Structure 1
Amino acid sequence: MMALRATKKTIIIASAVTVLLVGGGAAAAMVISGQQAQPRADASPSPEATPEPVVTEPPAVVPVTNVARASIDAWTLAGRGVVGTVLPEVGDAAQGAVSLRVDAPADDADIIAASAPVALAPSTDYTLSVSVRVLAEEKTETGVRLTAAGQTFTLPELDAEWETLEFPFTSAVDQAAASTFDVVLSGAVRGFGIDDVSITAVGSDNLVPNGSFEAVQTPAGIVNDSLVMTDESAVLAVSLAEGPVQWSATSTAGGEPITGEFGSTGPLSALPLTGVSQGHYTVAVNDSAGRQIQTDVAVIDADGFSVTQDGRFGVGAHVEKDPFIGTGSLAAAIGFAEVRNDISWERNEKVAGQYVWDENYGREFERMHANDVKLLGLVVYGNRLYGARKAPGNEAAIQAYGAYAKAVADRFDLVGLEVLNEFNHRENDTACGPAPACYVPIAQSVRDHVSTAYPDLPIVTGSTALYDSEWFAGFWQAGGMAVTDAASYHPYESWINRDADLIAGTVQQSYADMQQYAGETRPVWVTEMGFPTHYDGVSLLEQGQMMVRNQTLAFANGVEKYFWYDLVNDTPDPAAGEANFGLYENSPRADVVALAPKPGAFAQALMITQLRDKAFASDESDDTTTVEVFGSGDDETRIAWAKQGEVQRIFASDVPLTVTDMSGSTTSVAPEDGQVTLTLGASPVFISSEAKSE
């Protein structure tokens, strides 16, 4: 097929493009509007062939768009536990101000993402017309098919430019009056957009209601589904009084505010954050009716409209609590690939041998799956059906606990099963107590019940409060290695001592203990660690700095996965010590539907984006600075800071180095005589090489 590039183009898909043949079917053909048949060339020989020029299409320009948490009149949209995102999109519609975005990172097929009713007559010629795109620079498979009247319409590869497709078709002789137009997923879908949908017969009106998606229902205010954005989604979706709107964005790191004005029209508009670069900001919006709104946002320079998830990074959650509604979306927005959550035994087995899953677990774990976020299931605690509440304490209880763990694996999309929580630390109401020898049979029961059916599902053991070297020594000596696929602990020594760098020695000791007492090692998962921002904690900015230092040294010393604690503040009380570990505020601000990200959320998304899945490579630290290298060759990223005060560090390089600080600000530093000198402080920086010019 000849490619014709234009800002918007029309492709006619001939009447027989039907995967499901109706009314006898027909042969398939695709016609591009305006394409002419070419005359046949002269067959006489040519002494020398003239090579045809190779035409390379420039990449499509990806527009800056975002989605709003709103419903669309006359359309049924898939629930958030079925498809990650099916929401109205603003910023660059094919027609009007609103289009529909579908983003479904989970590879689930045959799901109806969006549906609208249509009434068709039998044996009638119709034309389906749609404007479609994918938010990508290059042509890509959509992962979407369209259906109407029992017929299936296949989409070509698309990029970020809107294309209008026309599908002529004939309804069946027995066509029912009531039918639907459906957007159906064939697998994983990223950034699919659809707009200006119509089904018409000759001389008839559009049979698809609200085919341009302009009629929406949304509360007033800032209605972004997420306030963690990238440079390709730095837009506020707003529902404000019509007229001029003034806005400002002030960096949390300081500096003069960025200001702007735009005109609000219709029930849903796009407010572009023009001039707002990477960083964490407080945004203020004032509309023509006097409404004043303020919230925090995070903007990340990323390769796409969302932060790419990294399987090393996870986060703790409590989906049984209201502030954690939408955990899958909240975690994915920052770049977390996994969530650790309690799956309480007593909540789900209230009659022996019968598992009835708490609705919070079902709803939120399904939403996690829809966002391609895996679950580290923390199987806790005891169950009074079998005796003790804090932990299984007799043989029947231990076997029932293992059976429950198997039921959890049967039900949910897991990355691992973790055996109890802080067994070494919590009050224990069993006769055996918290000794490691009492824990081994419990872990063995999980292994016995789960591993035959799920041999590749890691059983994660330990989960100790702090790194308890004495407890782990006893565990390994008692045979713990045989029931362990990954060892976990919660190294809050770093928080207690306000020293993020302590984790390096903690991880080294944990591996040494394994080797000494078991003669072999298992991967380490840090399944809980954080720095709270309450009155006696760290500042909002320090939380992000200490997070990056702690995680960097964890990975540099052999940690395989790291789960930050916590995703959301547990309460709005800033003085509550256990409540302020989160990366999001506890509840939305006035006239805002999404939770505001704290600076720590920006720091986490920045680190994930800077690393881009690069593995730890080497340590270049010296007596005064820490420098850890991730990646290799021209794709190296260094994370560096000074151990005390400010220190100058020299890096060998014959190309400029790009330095990104914790505010998101990026500076290019040119080499002199093959060296780049940087001043490092307590706040980490990310250092990468700029590409050499040809």
Structure 2
Amino acid sequence: MRRTTSASFLIRLLLGITVSGSILAGALPPSAAEEKFPPPVVPQGFGVNIHFTDARPGEMEMLAASGVKWIRMDFVWGATERKRGEYDFSAYERLMNSLEKHGIRALFILDYGNPLYDDGLAPHTDEGRQAFARWAAAAAKHFRGKDILWEMYNEPNIGFWKPKPNVQDYVKLAVEVGKTLRREAPEELYIGPATSQIDLKFLEACFQGGLLEYWDAVSVHPYRQTPPETVLPEYEKLRQLIDKYAPAGKKIPIISGEWGYSAVWKNYDETRQGKYLPRQWLINISAGVPVSIWYDWHDDGPDPKEPEHHFGMVAYPYHAGRDPVYDPKPAYRAAQTLCRVLQDFRFVKTLEAEGNDAVPCWVLLFEKDKKPAIVAWCQEDGKTATIRLRIPEGRYRMTDWLGQDKGVLEVTSQPVAVEVADSPTYLVAE
């Protein structure tokens, strides 16, 4: 999880997810695999990264109350195979039981070395690769039918692949795991490579190595210190690569498996972080990304100057016996607002905003039971704009990004003027 900036420019085209491809014998047919990914309905694709198998009292309840439907968590080889060929998945059984109580799905990362093989480094011998693949298949079979996404490693393009990144060794391991999973648990979903940022060179090497034959989705970590909307040109380049290498007839979506903003980066604070969370999830859903995982659930430490300690939706201190057990940050309240106000609304399309060329603005149309909902915001930090929209006539309840009621907008003629800021405004037809 390394973060850098990227060029900022606007693409207003809705990006599709259809690519060409065929499927391996024994694996799910394309349509069945696609159905296991959530549709573009709020909040079915939204989630957070966690770092526990056993939640503290009150923690899982607070996490679920944010509205998220996914967690992403390390599924650690070295912790679950302590004797060769003997697997202990009990900690993850406890986690799955807790998640299922709250209707939350898991994205588990098959990751890291094991001191029993290859000196604890990333698997790079035939013995190490085969052992990793046997372990991965055992895990998938143990939890089969739980709608888990099994992800091949975490950020292998940077220092998480020990002793140093090696794409060819990664491809060999990922292919070995793919073959074994398709033979032992063909109905389970297998994704990768969870790159730090959208590393097109590393990704293309994976595709050239044949991994799209095995993967049901391509996962990336689009970290940046620019607004969330700047990800769209990179998604488009990645889609072109997927289209170039995918097997015929196979649909392979992009998953945003880890992405967040530190509240103590330069020119950042908890408010800016909070505004970016819903914008990130909304821009992903508009781009056909079925799963969006925010990094992180709670802050990882108390150091006020350490960026890695301040990616959370909630603060670091845990308050036993209190409700809530963590102090919610603006990001938590923003997530809760988006998931509540647009619950069960399906994304339809991106709308054009008229009358404001100075500030890039975004307008998304959602629908539930033929009732429209509009989300609008401007891209530049600290800016506001008055835009004109052509939306169905009627009464719209307006809510700001933190859940404050902003009154009713009467739409009796076209276009209608709406003032937007750098945080989402929700307009839901009454």
TM-score category of the 2 structures, normalised to the smaller one: 0.7 to 0.9
- Pick from 73, 80, 87 the counterpart of residue 341 of structure 1: 73
- Pick from 381, 385, 401 the counterpart of residue 647 of structure 1: 385
Shift of 1:672: 4.7
Q: Which has the higher strand share?
A: 1
Change (3 A) 1:327 1:589: closer
- Pick from 43, 55, 78 the counterpart of residue 310 of structure 1: 43
Inter-partner Cα distance in structure 1 for 2:55 and 2:308: 15
Letter in 1 for 2:333: F
Q: Is it true that 1:668 corresponds to 2:408 in the alignment? A: yes
Q: Which has the higher helix share?
A: 2
Inter-partner Cα distance in structure 2 for 1:488 and 1:382: 20
Shift of 1:674: 4.1
- Pick from 447, 450, 462 the counterpart of residue 178 of structure 2: 447
Change (3 A) 1:327 1:484: farther
Inter-partner Cα distance in structure 2 for 1:632 and 1:505: 29
* 8 Å Cα contact 2:42/2:345 also seen in 1: no
Inter-partner Cα distance in structure 2 for 1:633 and 1:620: 19
TM-score normalized by structure 2? 0.80
Q: Is it true that 1:438 corresponds to 2:169 in the alignment? A: yes
Please name the residue that 1:600 is paired with.
331
Change (3 A) 1:337 1:632: closer
Inter-partner Cα distance in structure 2 for 1:663 and 1:310: 16
SS of aligned partner of 1:636: strand
Shift of 1:393: 0.8
Q: Is it true that 1:490 corresponds to 2:221 in the alignment? A: yes
Superposition pairs for residues 235-384 of structure 1, below 5 Å? Answer: 310-319=43-52, 328-357=60-89, 359=91, 361-384=92-115
Please name the residue that 1:469 is paired with.
200
SS of aligned partner of 2:212: helix
Please name the residue that 2:361 is paired with.
625
Shift of 1:551: 1.3
Q: Is it true that 1:504 corresponds to 2:244 in the alignment? A: no
Inter-partner Cα distance in structure 2 for 1:326 and 1:559: 31
Q: Is it true that 1:554 corresponds to 2:294 in the alignment? A: no
Shift of 1:422: 0.3
Max Rg structure: 1
* 8 Å Cα contact 1:657/1:668 also seen in 2: yes
Change (3 A) 1:375 1:654: closer
- Pick from 243, 264, 268 the counterpart of residue 515 of structure 1: 243
Q: Which sections of structure 2, spanning at least 5 residues, go unmatched?
A: 1-40
Shift of 1:546: 0.6
Inter-partner Cα distance in structure 2 for 1:386 and 1:444: 18
Inter-partner Cα distance in structure 2 for 1:327 and 1:409: 27
1:225-267 deviation digits (Å, cap 9, x = unpaired):
xxxxxxxxxxxxxxxxxxxxxxxxxxxxxxxxxxxxxxxxxxx
1:91-146 deviation digits (Å, cap 9, x = unpaired):
xxxxxxxxxxxxxxxxxxxxxxxxxxxxxxxxxxxxxxxxxxxxxxxxxxxxxxxx
Aligned residues: 376
Inter-partner Cα distance in structure 1 for 2:188 and 2:245: 25
Change (3 A) 1:595 1:641: same
1:499-528 deviation digits (Å, cap 9, x = unpaired):
221122222221122113447651111110
SS of aligned partner of 1:331: helix
* 8 Å Cα contact 1:328/1:365 also seen in 2: no
Change (3 A) 1:584 1:506: same
Kindly report the root-mean-square deviation, in angstroms, between the aligned alpha carbons of the 2 structures: 2.5
Letter in 1 for 2:378: A
Q: Which sections of structure 1, spanning at least 5 residues, go unmatched?
A: 1-307
1:606-656 deviation digits (Å, cap 9, x = unpaired):
111222233321111355321122226742222211234322112234212
Letter in 2 for 1:677: A
SS of aligned partner of 2:291: strand
SS of aligned partner of 1:310: coil
Change (3 A) 1:421 1:590: closer
Of structures 1 and 2, the one scoring higher in RCO (CA 8 A, sep 6+) is 2
Please name the residue that 2:422 is paired with.
682
Please name the residue that 1:237 is paired with.
none
Please name the residue that 1:299 is paired with.
none
Please name the residue that 1:265 is paired with.
none
Please name the residue that 2:397 is paired with.
658
* 8 Å Cα contact 2:114/2:121 also seen in 1: yes
Shift of 1:310: 3.2
Inter-partner Cα distance in structure 2 for 1:542 and 1:487: 29
Shift of 1:327: 5.3
Percent sequence identity over aligned pairs: 24
Please name the residue that 1:542 is paired with.
272
Inter-partner Cα distance in structure 1 for 2:307 and 2:209: 36
* 8 Å Cα contact 2:112/2:161 also seen in 1: no
Inter-partner Cα distance in structure 1 for 2:263 and 2:276: 11
TM-score normalized by structure 1? 0.51
* 8 Å Cα contact 1:316/1:341 also seen in 2: yes
